Protein backbone atom coordinates (compact mmCIF):
# COMPACT_ATOMS: atom_id res chain seq x y z
CA UNK A 1 0.00 0.00 0.00
CA UNK A 2 1.16 3.53 -0.76
CA UNK A 3 2.75 5.36 2.14
CA UNK A 4 3.99 8.41 0.31
CA UNK A 5 5.23 11.47 2.15
CA UNK A 6 6.63 14.88 1.31
CA UNK A 7 9.34 16.19 3.59
CA UNK A 8 10.63 19.75 3.32
CA UNK A 9 13.61 20.95 5.30
CA UNK A 10 16.04 23.83 5.35
CA UNK A 11 19.67 24.01 6.41
CA UNK A 12 22.70 26.28 6.34
CA UNK A 13 25.79 25.48 4.26
CA UNK A 14 29.00 24.87 6.21
CA UNK A 15 31.36 25.28 3.27
CA UNK A 16 32.93 28.43 1.95
CA UNK A 17 31.24 29.37 -1.31
CA UNK A 18 33.57 29.16 -4.29
CA UNK A 19 34.28 32.75 -5.36
CA UNK A 20 34.95 32.13 -9.00
CA UNK A 21 32.16 29.69 -9.70
CA UNK A 22 30.61 30.54 -13.02
CA UNK A 23 27.70 28.17 -12.78
CA UNK A 24 26.52 25.96 -9.99
CA UNK A 25 28.57 26.05 -6.78
CA UNK A 26 30.94 23.00 -6.87
CA UNK A 27 29.93 21.49 -3.50
CA UNK A 28 26.26 21.88 -4.39
CA UNK A 29 26.98 20.25 -7.76
CA UNK A 30 28.55 17.25 -5.97
CA UNK A 31 25.52 16.92 -3.68
CA UNK A 32 23.26 17.07 -6.70
CA UNK A 33 25.24 14.37 -8.52
CA UNK A 34 25.10 12.15 -5.46
CA UNK A 35 21.33 12.70 -5.16
CA UNK A 36 20.71 11.88 -8.79
CA UNK A 37 22.79 8.73 -8.50
CA UNK A 38 21.12 7.49 -5.29
CA UNK A 39 17.53 8.69 -5.38
CA UNK A 40 16.24 6.66 -8.35
CA UNK A 41 17.26 3.42 -6.58
CA UNK A 42 15.05 4.48 -3.67
CA UNK A 43 12.29 5.99 -5.81
CA UNK A 44 12.88 9.32 -4.17
CA UNK A 45 12.21 12.53 -6.06
CA UNK A 46 12.20 16.20 -5.25
CA UNK A 47 13.79 19.57 -5.65
CA UNK A 48 16.82 21.35 -4.22
CA UNK A 49 17.31 25.10 -4.03
CA UNK A 50 20.41 26.85 -2.76
CA UNK A 51 20.36 30.57 -2.06
CA UNK A 52 22.02 33.00 0.38
CA UNK A 53 23.98 30.10 1.93
CA UNK A 54 20.83 28.12 2.72
CA UNK A 55 19.45 24.89 1.33
CA UNK A 56 15.75 24.28 0.81
CA UNK A 57 14.97 20.72 -0.18
CA UNK A 58 11.75 18.86 -0.81
CA UNK A 59 11.90 15.05 -0.76
CA UNK A 60 9.09 12.78 -1.88
CA UNK A 61 8.86 9.03 -1.62
CA UNK A 62 7.83 6.15 0.60
CA UNK A 63 7.96 7.16 4.26
CA UNK A 64 10.59 4.59 5.31
CA UNK A 65 13.08 5.53 2.58
CA UNK A 66 12.57 9.28 2.99
CA UNK A 67 13.07 8.92 6.75
CA UNK A 68 16.27 6.92 6.18
CA UNK A 69 17.57 9.54 3.75
CA UNK A 70 16.84 12.51 5.99
CA UNK A 71 18.67 10.74 8.84
CA UNK A 72 21.70 10.43 6.52
CA UNK A 73 21.38 14.04 5.31
CA UNK A 74 21.22 15.29 8.90
CA UNK A 75 24.62 13.70 9.57
CA UNK A 76 26.18 15.38 6.53
CA UNK A 77 28.86 17.85 7.60
CA UNK A 78 28.44 20.02 4.52
CA UNK A 79 25.53 21.73 6.24
CA UNK A 80 24.03 22.24 9.70
CA UNK A 81 20.95 23.65 11.49
CA UNK A 82 18.71 21.22 9.63
CA UNK A 83 15.14 22.17 10.38
CA UNK A 84 12.14 20.24 9.09
CA UNK A 85 9.49 22.65 7.85
CA UNK A 86 6.92 20.18 6.68
CA UNK A 87 6.24 16.45 6.78
CA UNK A 88 2.94 15.44 5.23
CA UNK A 89 1.35 12.35 3.71
CA UNK A 90 0.61 12.78 0.00
CA UNK A 91 -1.57 10.79 -2.34
CA UNK A 92 0.60 11.54 -5.36
CA UNK A 93 4.00 12.97 -6.10
CA UNK A 94 4.41 16.53 -7.38
CA UNK A 95 8.02 15.88 -8.47
CA UNK A 96 7.32 12.62 -10.24
CA UNK A 97 9.71 13.45 -13.06
CA UNK A 98 12.81 14.42 -11.12
CA UNK A 99 15.19 12.42 -8.94
CA UNK A 100 16.37 15.85 -7.81
CA UNK A 101 15.39 18.99 -9.71
CA UNK A 102 17.80 21.85 -9.12
CA UNK A 103 16.72 25.48 -9.11
CA UNK A 104 19.55 27.99 -9.39
CA UNK A 105 19.31 31.49 -7.89
CA UNK A 106 16.23 32.84 -9.52
CA UNK A 107 14.67 36.24 -10.02
CA UNK A 108 11.24 34.58 -9.74
CA UNK A 109 12.20 33.50 -6.21
CA UNK A 110 13.13 37.10 -5.30
CA UNK A 111 9.76 38.26 -6.65
CA UNK A 112 7.95 35.66 -4.55
CA UNK A 113 9.94 36.63 -1.44
CA UNK A 114 9.09 40.27 -2.05
CA UNK A 115 5.42 39.37 -2.36
CA UNK A 116 5.73 37.76 1.10
CA UNK A 117 7.58 40.85 2.40
CA UNK A 118 11.00 39.22 2.71
CA UNK A 119 14.18 40.72 1.27
CA UNK A 120 16.51 37.71 1.54
CA UNK A 121 16.23 33.93 1.30
CA UNK A 122 15.95 33.05 4.99
CA UNK A 123 13.89 29.84 4.94
CA UNK A 124 13.97 29.56 8.75
CA UNK A 125 11.42 32.39 8.79
CA UNK A 126 9.17 31.00 6.08
CA UNK A 127 5.48 30.68 6.89
CA UNK A 128 3.37 27.80 5.61
CA UNK A 129 1.89 29.80 2.74
CA UNK A 130 5.31 30.85 1.43
CA UNK A 131 6.59 27.25 1.66
CA UNK A 132 3.64 26.04 -0.46
CA UNK A 133 4.07 28.90 -2.96
CA UNK A 134 7.78 28.14 -3.26
CA UNK A 135 7.24 24.42 -3.90
CA UNK A 136 4.63 25.33 -6.50
CA UNK A 137 7.06 27.79 -8.15
CA UNK A 138 9.90 25.22 -8.15
CA UNK A 139 7.57 22.68 -9.67
CA UNK A 140 6.73 24.90 -12.61
CA UNK A 141 10.06 26.69 -13.19
CA UNK A 142 12.13 25.27 -15.96
CA UNK A 143 15.79 25.03 -15.16
CA UNK A 144 18.68 24.62 -17.60
CA UNK A 145 20.55 22.52 -14.99
CA UNK A 146 17.65 20.13 -14.61
CA UNK A 147 15.95 17.91 -17.09
CA UNK A 148 13.24 15.49 -16.00
CA UNK A 149 14.99 12.16 -15.41
CA UNK A 150 12.29 10.04 -13.84
CA UNK A 151 8.88 8.80 -14.61
CA UNK A 152 7.44 7.93 -11.25
CA UNK A 153 3.80 7.14 -11.56
CA UNK A 154 1.50 6.62 -8.64
CA UNK A 155 0.80 3.03 -9.65
CA UNK A 156 4.39 1.99 -8.93
CA UNK A 157 4.21 3.38 -5.39
CA UNK A 158 1.57 0.82 -4.55
CA UNK A 159 3.71 -2.22 -5.19
CA UNK A 160 7.18 -2.70 -3.77
CA UNK A 161 10.02 -2.35 -6.27
CA UNK A 162 12.61 -5.08 -6.76
CA UNK A 163 15.03 -2.81 -4.88
CA UNK A 164 12.58 -2.43 -1.96
CA UNK A 165 12.04 -6.20 -1.87
CA UNK A 166 15.80 -6.71 -1.89
CA UNK A 167 16.48 -4.13 0.86
CA UNK A 168 13.67 -5.47 3.03
CA UNK A 169 15.34 -8.89 2.81
CA UNK A 170 19.00 -7.91 2.99
CA UNK A 171 19.05 -4.28 4.27
CA UNK A 172 19.97 -1.11 2.34
CA UNK A 173 23.68 -1.20 3.15
CA UNK A 174 25.06 2.11 4.44
Nearer to ligand FAD, 77 or 119 (CB): 77
Which parts of 99-138 interact with ligand FAD (CB under 6 A)? 100
For 110-130, b where at least 16 C-beta lie within 10 A, e where not — what string? eebbeeeebeebebeebeeeb
The answer to the question of residue 62 lying near ligand FAD (CB under 6 A) is: no
Starting at the edge strand found earlier in the chain, the sheet holding 79-89 runs 79-89, 4-13, 54-62, 45-51, 101-103
The answer to the question of residue 150 lying near ligand FAD (CB under 6 A) is: no
Q: Which stretch binds ligand FAD (CB under 6 A): 68-76, 88-96, 101-109, 112-120?
A: 68-76
- Contact pattern for ligand FAD over residues 20 through 59, marking x by CB under 6 A: -----------x--xx--xx---------------x-x--
First-to-last alpha carbon distance for the chain, in angstroms, is: 26
Q: Which residues sit at the interface with ligand FAD, rule CB under 6 A?
A: 11, 31, 34-35, 38-39, 55, 57, 69, 72-73, 76-79, 100, 174
Amino acid sequence: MSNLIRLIYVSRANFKLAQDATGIEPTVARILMQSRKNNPKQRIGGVLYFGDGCFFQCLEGQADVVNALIAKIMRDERHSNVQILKLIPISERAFNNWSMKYIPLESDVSALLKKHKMDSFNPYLFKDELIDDLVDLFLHLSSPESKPDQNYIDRIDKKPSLWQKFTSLFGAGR
